[in-house]
Structure formats: structure tokens, C-alpha cells
Amino acid sequence: MSTRNFKKVATLFLDSISTFKTYELFRYHTLIFYTVLASIISLDIVSLKQKVVDAPEILTVIGKITYLPEFLNSPFFSIWEALHCTIDKVAGVLETNRPDSENALYRATIKQGDFLLNRIKKLSRVIDL
């Protein structure tokens, strides 16, 4: 980990989980913690799910480590859909749109106003007949 080669570190940690016996160096919980952190950084989402999220060795310990289950499972839930941004592929930029309560109220008012105007137009057509 000190050389920041997280892909190699994740592979070595994942290989050593099932045969870990050196409790005098550090606890098994610590090995699981570092394995999860290195794996999240270096593995793709499919490999992460197969090798870490569904691994029985990790599942037995992960609940005892504070905040680690939420951190590990966050890529698989809708936490990533909560980002308010659009990708402009032509310009190659990421444009953020952070809606606040004032903008949400404005948009809701415009939408309700459009709906009301359309209803009034339909009513006026019916009355003119």
C-alpha cells in the first residue's frame, strides 16, 4: 500500500484472506478493512461484487467494522443516482445542477401554471362551441 499500487495490494489481500494466520501482525478485522478499501479503489464494479461483496470471509466480519458495510455497498445502490449533473460529451465537461428549494418551488409553479393555462384553453374551446 505504501507504493500506492492498489490493484496489486487488493489482489494480494484477497488471496491472503482465506489463509490469514498472523494475528501478531494485525487483527483479521484490519485485514478485511484494508482489503475492502484497496478493492473499492482498484477493482471494477463486477469484480468488486464477485470478489469482495459476495465473499463469505468478508461477510462474516464486515458487520463488526464501523461504516464499512455502507461504504462497500454504496456503489450498488442509488446513492450515485442522487448526483445532479449532466455530461456534455461534445464539450467534454460535466455540468452540475444543484437544485435548491427556491428553484424547485419555481419549477413547480411554472408546471402548475402551464397545466392551468391548458385547462383554461380547453374550457374556452368548449364554451365557444
- Residue 12 has a pLDDT of 92
Is 84 a residue whose pLDDT tops 80?
Answer: no
How confident is the model over 25-79, as pLDDT tens digits? 889 999 999 999 999 889 888 888 899 999 999 999 988 988 888 888 876 665 5
- Residue 44 has a pLDDT of 87
Is 1 a residue whose pLDDT tops 90?
Answer: no
What secondary structure does DSSP assign to the chain, as a single string?
A: -TT--HHHHHHHHHHHSTT---TTTS-HHHHHHHHHHHHHHHS-HHHHIIIIIT-HHHHHHGGGSTTHHHHHHGGGSGGGGG--EEEETTTTEEEE----HHHHHHHHHHHHHHHHHHHHHHHHHHHH-
